[in-house]
Amino acid sequence: MTMDTSQSIKVWSDRYDRLLRVRLAQPKANLIDAAMIAGLDEVFTKRIKDSRLRAVLLDAEGPHFSFGASVEEHLPAKCAAMLQSLHGLLLMMIDAPLPILTAIRGQCLGGGLEVAMATTLIFAAPGARFGQPEVKLAVIAPAASCLLPERVGRAHAEDILLSGRTLDSQEAFRIGLVHEVADDPEAAALSYFDQHLAQLSASSVRFAVKAARMGMAERLRTALAAMEKVYLEELMATRDALEGLQSFIEKRPPKWEDG
């Protein structure tokens, strides 16, 4: 086993180099900020080219998978760059030629859930919580607005996106967001790998992933470009979007002007 450690993630090989382990390593929040996105981007650019790999397992240090993206990076001066880099990462993950298993404990919110939804199967602890709370800050979740309907259908997606409410792991399992609920989600993901993926042809796994996701990347690439335009040119021109972000940073109740 070899391990590479950066400030934001840890990466190592497991299961006789058949499984790539990737761990978010900025607890307790594990924010999906510029450093985390850059670290994950490097992994999915370089490390998954190893022809021996059958899968990737993504998990996180600390009690929570991720509180989401950095709110400061949603402010007007940084939001365009943030959206471009995050959406580029998500599309790279969706295009990845390997199944990506994700193990989640604690909170998995906002940009953290968007990252998880770009993977293949989610394994969750009983106490895990999932949500896209952006609307409560008077903004939206562009990537989740595109990814959620793909994973759980439009009705469930609209409920989650419009309410900003949090789902427990059992509800997430019931609607198909989560593949399995287990006391130890990392162990459950490893068991899935050992039982279903480890002995397969590595090259054939890559073709199976390509076939299963055929067309999805193209749909999401088009939808994300349109959503970025709405976010940057329309939403961020409203007073309430800026007020929602600033009030969160300043830890005070927002004062909506409804426009």
Q: Report if residue 232 sits inside a domain.
A: no
State the CATH number of the domain containing residue 46: 3.90.226.10
Q: Count how many Cα atoms sit within 13 Å of the Cα of residue 219 in the half-sphere of its side chain.
A: 10
230: tokens are 């709405």
101 is in which domain, residue-wise? 3-131+164-197
Q: Report if residue 96 sits inside a domain.
A: yes
- So what's the pLDDT on residue 3? 59
The packing angle between helices 76-94 and 142-152, to 10°, is: 30
Q: Report if residue 43 sits inside a domain.
A: yes
Per-position DSSP letters for 68-119, written without gaps between them:
-B-SGGGSHHHHHHHHHHHHHHHHHHHT-SS-EEEEE-SEEETHHHHHHHTS
141: tokens are 């979740």
Identity of the residue numbered 185: P
Confidence of residue 7 (pLDDT cuts 50, 70, 90): confident
pLDDT, tens digit (0-9, with 9 covering 90-100), for 115-135 = 999 999 999 999 999 999 999
Residue written as token pair 């106490």: 127
| Nearest in space to 93 (alpha carbons), one of 114, 71, 122 | 114
Q: Report if residue 212 sits inside a domain.
A: no
Contact 84, 133 (CB under 8 A): no
Q: Report if residue 255 sits inside a domain.
A: no
pLDDT, tens digit (0-9, with 9 covering 90-100), for 190-232 = 999 999 999 999 999 999 999 999 999 999 999 999 999 999 9
pLDDT, tens digit (0-9, with 9 covering 90-100), for 23-50 = 999 999 999 999 999 999 999 999 999 9
How far is Cα of residue 174 from the mean position of the Cα atoms in its chain? 19
pLDDT, tens digit (0-9, with 9 covering 90-100), for 148-189 = 999 999 999 999 999 999 999 999 999 999 999 999 999 999
Q: Count how many Cα atoms sit within 13 Å of the Cα of residue 65 in the half-sphere of its side chain.
A: 31
DSSP reduced 3-state for 120: coil
Q: Report if residue 25 sits inside a domain.
A: yes
Q: Are strands 55-60 and 9-14 parallel, antiparallel or unpaired?
A: unpaired
Q: How many domains does the chain have?
A: 1
75-102: b (≥16 Cβ within 10 Å) or e: beeebeebbebbbebbbbbbbbbbbbbb
Q: Report if residue 38 sits inside a domain.
A: yes
Q: Report if residue 242 sits inside a domain.
A: no
C-alpha–C-alpha distance, residues 74 and 34, integer Å: 11
Answer yes or no: is pLDDT of 1 > 60: no
